[in-house]
């Protein structure tokens, strides 16, 4: 285990559903990230939080809404997703935003039907 825990591990949702992904890190890190991993594509950075403040939104559609209540927890709220949003969603953390050594969680495998 890397110290970054994601729940749920698997999620199947309809296009009209609302669901949330949760990430928790026990490493004392101050920066947290959401990445999307699709087959045959590089990891895509979605959002960056540093000391609970969002510092980057990588042109992500508004149907993905992040929330960072504190430095240890990160959520990704999902609403009216499309089938092409099906992917592995990975949470990561690092000591600070300037630190490049990111530790990843196991990911949530999302399927939109």
Partner 1 sequence: QKEVEQDPGPLSVPEGAIVSLNCTYSNSAFQYFMWYRQYSRKGPELLMYTYSSGNKEDGRFTAQVDKSSKYISLFIRDSQPSDSATYLCAMSANLTGGGNKLTFGTGTQLKVEL
When the beta carbons of 18 and 99 are compared against partner 1, the nearer one is 99
By CB under 8 A, is residue 98 in contact with partner 1?
A: yes
Contact 21, 78 (CB under 8 A): yes
By CB under 8 A, is residue 101 in contact with partner 1?
A: yes
- The Cα 30–Cα 53 span in angstroms is 10
Which residues are within 8 A (CB) of 109 and not within 5 positions of it... i.e. 6 or more apart? 9, 10, 11, 88
- Record the tokens describing residue 69, joined without a space: 């209540």
Residue 85 to residues 12, 24, 94, 108, Cα–Cα distance (Å):
11, 22, 26, 12
When the beta carbons of 15 and 54 are compared against partner 1, the nearer one is 54
CB of 16 to partner 1, least distance (A): 28
- Categorise residue 107: left if φ over 0, alpha if ψ from -120 to 50, beta otherwise: left
Q: Which range of residues in 12-20, 63-71, 72-80, 89-97 is near partner 1 by CB under 8 A?
A: 89-97
By CB under 8 A, is residue 52 in contact with partner 1?
A: no
CB of 45 to partner 1, least distance (A): 7
Residues that bind partner 1 (CB under 8 A): 2, 4, 6, 31, 40-43, 45, 48, 50, 55-56, 90, 92, 96-107, 109
């Amino acid at each position: 285990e890397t110290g970054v825990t994601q729940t749920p591990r698997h999620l199947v949702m309809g296009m009209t559903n609302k669901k949330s992904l949760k990430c928790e890190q026990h490493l004392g890190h101050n920066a947290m990230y959401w990445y999307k991993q699709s087959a045959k594509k590089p990891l895509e950075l979605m959002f960056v939080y540093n000391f609970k403040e969002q510092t980057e939104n990588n042109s992500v559609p508004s149907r993905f809404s992040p929330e960072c209540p504190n430095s240890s927890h990160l959520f990704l709220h999902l609403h009216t997703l499309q089938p092409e949003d099906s992917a592995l969603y990975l949470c990561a953390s690092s000591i600070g935003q300037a630190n490049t050594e990111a530790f990843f969680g196991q990911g949530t495998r999302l399927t939109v039907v």
